[in-house]
Amino acid sequence: MRTLLAILVAAILAQSAQASPATHINFVTDWKAQAEHGGFYEALALGLYAKRGLDVRIIEGGPSVNVAQVLAGGAADFGIGSNGFVPLNLAREGAPIRAVMAVFQKDPQVLIAHPRNDVKTLADMKGKPILISDGASVTFWPWLKAKYGFSDSQIRRYTFNLAPFLVDPKAIQEGYLSSEPYTVEREGHFKPLVFLLADNGYPGYANMVLVPQKWIDTNPKAVQAFVDATREGWIKYLVGDAKPANALIKRDNPEMSDDLIAQAIAKMKSYGIAVSGDVKLQTQLGLMTDARWKTFFATMVSEGLYPKTLDYRKAYDLRFVRGAK
């Protein structure tokens, strides 16, 4: 009798679960599909979102997609915050959107140079011309000025065209750990010097999940489910079989090759991009702390990027990663 009752209860619960519609979430990324989005795609490919009652659609970003504007306008539900400036800028503008997890403990921002005897450290670049984008002038560049004494007179405009760098052996430019260095090796046939800013004191998080406050207030269970599934997806992507995610990445972005994806994964692992700092275990992936945010904010306040009166804590919400162990 007990066995029959248990079977009936299980059947009723299963029917109830099936009757409950999945929570739909449009998730917009900050660039075209790439390995740096791998854990999100892995969670989608393996049904980790669906297992937690979510119907997630990943919307590929690109150079013309401003994630903050997309979320503020309601065109997507969740999105990726590329760096710590994104949620802080939203807080400054009074937009109720929070970072709820940080996939990358280290920002993959780098400076690269040709092999040369006079550049062995970031400090050696002081006074030398450096190609940076317009966006960099109000993000990591002020930090370089504060820490290493760089000046605006060094700035040369980087238009995301590698040709000026490749033909000038004295050139230095910005890049992304898994992008420009690989392309330089492939097209320039030399291995550039790579300086990861995070390994030289740059304090910001990267690859954060941004969520509007209305979701946090009205459906925190869905937010928690997204964070938990995303964490599991990233763990499986980095230490398990990445093929399911890579198939979806290449579907969304045919420009992605197996070699490009493989080297990006290898660099994320070897540089400790996702697992380092406060994240001691893979199961802590996504963790954020008040201390790190305070340090990042204080650094940028000292450079005049934000007023001291800004409530920087409105840029993030730690409740969804506190349980990471």
| Sequence spans of domains, the chain | 22-106+204-315, 109-200
Tell me the three state secondary structure of residue 162. coil
Average pLDDT, integer, range 18-47: 93
Q: For residue 243, what pLDDT is reported? A: 98
Q: What is the mean pLDDT of residues 108-120?
A: 97
Q: Is the pLDDT of residue 40 over 50?
A: yes
CA–CA dist 150, 28 (Å, integer): 35
Is the pLDDT assigned to residue 19 strictly greater than 70?
no
List, for residues 162-196, the tens digit of each pLDDT value.
999 999 999 999 999 999 999 999 999 999 999 99
Q: What is the DSSP code (8-state) at residue 283?
A: G
Q: Tell me the mean pLDDT in the region 219-248.
A: 97
User: What mean pLDDT, rounded, does the chain reach?
Assistant: 93
Phi first, then psi, for residue 132 (nearest 5°) are -135, 155
22-106+204-315 and 109-200 have identical folds: yes
The topology under which CATH files domain 22-106+204-315 is D-Maltodextrin-Binding Protein; domain 2 (3.40.190)
Query: pLDDT at position 28, please?
Result: 98
Contact between 159 and 77 (Cβ < 8 Å): no
Which two three-digit tokens encode residue 301? 């306040």
- 89: number of Cβ within 10 Å: 16
For the domain spanning 109-200, the CATH number is: 3.40.190.10
**Tokens 């398990």 found at:** 240
3-state SS assignment for residue 55? strand
Q: In what order do the strands lie in the sheet with 155-157?
A: 155-157, 130-132, 172-176, 109-113, 193-196
List the structure tokens of 294: 């305070």
- Work out the angle between the directed axes of helices 85-92 and 290-302 (0-180°, nearest 10): 70
H-assigned helices in the chain: 2-19, 38-45, 48-51, 67-72, 85-92, 140-148, 163-167, 180-188, 213-218, 220-239, 243-252, 258-270, 290-302
